[in-house]
Structure 1
Amino acid sequence: MDSAPFQTTPDAARPAFSGLEHPKLSPARVGVVLSNLGTPDATNYWSMRRYLSEFLSDRRVIDYSPLFWQPLLQLVILTRRPFTSGRNYASIWNTEQDESPLLITTRGQAAAVAERARAAYGDRVLVDFAMRYGNPSTASVITGLRERGCERIVFFPLYPQYSAPTTATANDEAFRTLMAMKWQPSLRTVPAYHDDPLYIEALAQSVERIYAGLDRRPDLLVTSYHGMPERYLAEGDPYHCQCRKTTRLLHDRLGFAEGEVVVTFQSRFGPEEWLKPYTVEEVARLARAGKKRIAVMAPAFSSDCVETLEEINGEIRHAFEAAGGEEFVYIPCLNEDTAHIDMMMSILGRELAGWV
């Protein structure tokens, strides 16, 4: 789809010395796009199938040959999985707004950043949000910002730790959108921020806030990250190392005892060996080993979603309790927390340098 940034805002005007035949142009602005993973539009079979098909067809996510993978995906996996995933989403769905928690939270984050940006930069910076899969699509959001006069765009994948199946595919989609434009905006992509001091501080504050409200201190803090196949690490993906660095820095900031914070990986999919230990198995092992009270957080997720609200607070909690665990505390994602928005604005301040 081509983009024509003409006559789209009330303050559009023709360039100086141009003729009457020249289209009106919106004033030059800078756009900011907060990019998250995505969400189905609803929990019914066809909505889930569309979403899962787009997600699981991404070669960054599943890098098997399409000649093998697509028949298996379309004819086998997507005949059953939409029902299971639909039930999982339905268990956390916001029925009042008829939207997923991830969509609601990401919209709220964008609104908070937009309010801060207006205070700092006036109308020179426009803020929006997009999803890699589902709606609002990356293409529609970037095209919309270009039509509103954004000649420069900061694209902000909301993934603290870089990985090809998250950060890279989000950036891919942004650049694919530019490929269809005659007049492309300049684009900056925000790098991983797994060791940003404000990110670590925001995580630490979220832990301290929850711990302060407990009668008894948990035996362990489990930092559960989304998993990926082990071979990705050997192929050069830095995700595993960045996850461990995040936890190390969080441990140091909290001042916890050695061994009081552990790293695990969740959401395994398919027959391959994934990064270990697997969260669902590790929490059960910890319970059997006498760690009866644990807290679990998900530092790789910027917003609570099905992987945290249903998987961690459902399946993983159940595994811990079934193995003899007595107290399971889930620490929510940073979501719209003020410290999280402070961190986003700090990062954007760096990335906007020279543009505003």
Structure 2
Amino acid sequence: MTSKMEKDQPGAGRLAHAPADHPAVAPARVGVVLANLGTPDDTDYWSMRRYLGEFLSDRRVVDYAAWKWQPLLQLVILSKRPFSSGKAYKSIWNTERDESPLLTITRAQTERVREQLTARHGDAVAVDFCMRYGNPSTPSVLERMREQGCERIVFFPLYPQYGSPTTATANDQAFRSLMRMKWQPAIRTVPAYFEHPAYVQALANSVRDVYAELEQPPTRLVASYHGVPERYLLEGDPYHCQCQKTTRLLRDALGFPAETVETTFQSQFGPEKWVGPPTVDRVAELARAGHKRIAVISPAFSSDCVETLEEIQQEIRDSFLAAGGEQFTYVPCLNDRDDHIEALVQVLETELAGWL
């Protein structure tokens, strides 16, 4: 069909036998959307309140009954937390671009993935990114890609380990977006890639690169993942198990003894029991046990963000040093490293099979 179009504007055309007033139709393409968690537009109170309100109202994130949770959220939490969260974001804000590091890094990842896929497939593929919370929003990006002729879309949540508060809610938002479209594109969601060899190798390479710059290597490597309530594990969410396997595969790729690599969890929120041990407590225990040099890596985060740049490098670091630790080393997220981009492209090529 598209080969018979008469071009009347860039990227779009009129069907050869269509009436003159027929809407322009873009040539058919395959879209790739990288999806990340999200970011506030600014660090001020109202920007933070808007972002936190959307995030904490997501039933995938907090699944308490709305009649119980919303009054507490709207009247108590959102009257105070925007100030503390805004302060945390301000401490790591990219002032040059006036945006959060997560937005800066996700954009860079997208540009590099686009370069790789364009080199392989030319204009047959369009690549963009969206956020589950904040901007650019999932609905706006999917609508834009549809307007660009993307009749098929590979939707890629950038979470190596599947979690219902991360992967599932990103997919939920994508499907909700389709519900509002007159012409829905076909869509594929990318599964968890926590054990993909290229991803594991990139993690191992990042550790080796950081260790190579140290005079003395750490005696412990702590793999810190974002936590979830223990109830999620008992209800069938595979996140905890996939985190444990990622740590084991990373340890094996590095050739480290089993006792030198640990799995911990951070960012506990709310009163119920969460999976553990908590990173902030465990690093203090390691210091008191005589481990003066440790390193922390965050395999669940594809991009550095407030949980890594502020929570790990400030709160968790301070906990270790206050307990007697001496050398705290943070291994950055994979971000837009060459080997990480190659891993993402390998995952995408599998999901694009049959569409290109």
TM-score interval (norm. to shorter): over 0.9
Partner of 2:225: 225
Q: How far off its partner does 1:8 sit?
A: 10
Contact 1:9 1:148 in 2 (8 A): no
Q: What SS is found at the alignment partner of 2:258?
A: coil
Paired with 2:172 and 2:127, the residues of 1 have a C-alpha distance of 20
Counterparts of 1:77-156 in structure 2 under 5 Å?
A: 77-156=77-156
Paired with 2:44 and 2:94, the residues of 1 have a C-alpha distance of 14
Q: How far off its partner does 1:16 sit?
A: 3.4
Partner of 2:61: 61
Partner of 1:3: none
* One-letter identity of the residue aligned with 2:286: L
Q: What SS is found at the alignment partner of 2:36?
A: strand
Paired with 1:318 and 1:9, the residues of 2 have a C-alpha distance of 58
Counterparts of 1:12-23 in structure 2 under 5 Å?
A: 12-23=12-23
Partner of 1:306: 306
Contact 2:8 2:14 in 1 (8 A): no
Q: How far off its partner does 1:257 sit?
A: 1.1
* One-letter identity of the residue aligned with 2:213: G
Contact 1:101 1:305 in 2 (8 A): yes
* One-letter identity of the residue aligned with 1:246: T
The normalised TM-score by structure 2 is: 0.97
CA, structure 1 residues 70+9, in 2 after alignment: closer, same or farther (shift >3 Å)?
A: farther
CA offsets 1:329-350 (integer angstroms, 9 cap, x no match) = 0000000000000001101111
Paired with 1:348 and 1:92, the residues of 2 have a C-alpha distance of 31
Contact 2:55 2:61 in 1 (8 A): yes
CA offsets 1:155-208 (integer angstroms, 9 cap, x no match) = 000000000000000000000000001100000000000000000000000000
Contact 1:206 1:334 in 2 (8 A): yes
Contact 2:40 2:48 in 1 (8 A): yes
Paired with 1:12 and 1:233, the residues of 2 have a C-alpha distance of 48
User: Please, what is the CA RMSD of the aligned residues?
Assistant: 1.0
Paired with 2:9 and 2:329, the residues of 1 have a C-alpha distance of 49
Paired with 1:180 and 1:96, the residues of 2 have a C-alpha distance of 36
Contact 1:9 1:26 in 2 (8 A): no
Contact 1:8 1:147 in 2 (8 A): no
Q: How far off its partner does 1:9 sit?
A: 5.7
Paired with 1:257 and 1:73, the residues of 2 have a C-alpha distance of 45
Partner of 1:204: 204
* One-letter identity of the residue aligned with 1:263: T
Partner of 1:74: 74
Q: What SS is found at the alignment partner of 2:103?
A: helix
Counterparts of 1:147-296 in structure 2 under 5 Å?
A: 147-296=147-296
Q: What SS is found at the alignment partner of 2:13?
A: coil
Partner of 2:28: 28
Q: What SS is found at the alignment partner of 2:188?
A: strand
Contact 1:8 1:26 in 2 (8 A): no
Contact 2:35 2:130 in 1 (8 A): yes
Partner of 1:4: none
Q: What SS is found at the alignment partner of 2:41?
A: coil
Contact 1:8 1:148 in 2 (8 A): no
* One-letter identity of the residue aligned with 2:346: S
Q: What SS is found at the alignment partner of 1:218?
A: coil
What is the aligned residue count? 350
Paired with 2:317 and 2:333, the residues of 1 have a C-alpha distance of 16
Q: What SS is found at the alignment partner of 1:259?
A: helix
Contact 2:33 2:130 in 1 (8 A): yes
Partner of 1:10: 10
* One-letter identity of the residue aligned with 1:137: S
CA, structure 1 residues 9+17, in 2 after alignment: closer, same or farther (shift >3 Å)?
A: closer
Deviates more, 1:184-193 or 1:21-30: 21-30
Partner of 1:338: 338
The normalised TM-score by structure 1 is: 0.97
Q: What SS is found at the alignment partner of 2:155?
A: strand
Contact 2:11 2:148 in 1 (8 A): no
Paired with 1:243 and 1:149, the residues of 2 have a C-alpha distance of 37
CA, structure 1 residues 355+68, in 2 after alignment: closer, same or farther (shift >3 Å)?
A: same
* One-letter identity of the residue aligned with 2:125: V
CA offsets 1:60-107 (integer angstroms, 9 cap, x no match) = 000000000000000000000000000000000011111100000000
* One-letter identity of the residue aligned with 1:276: G
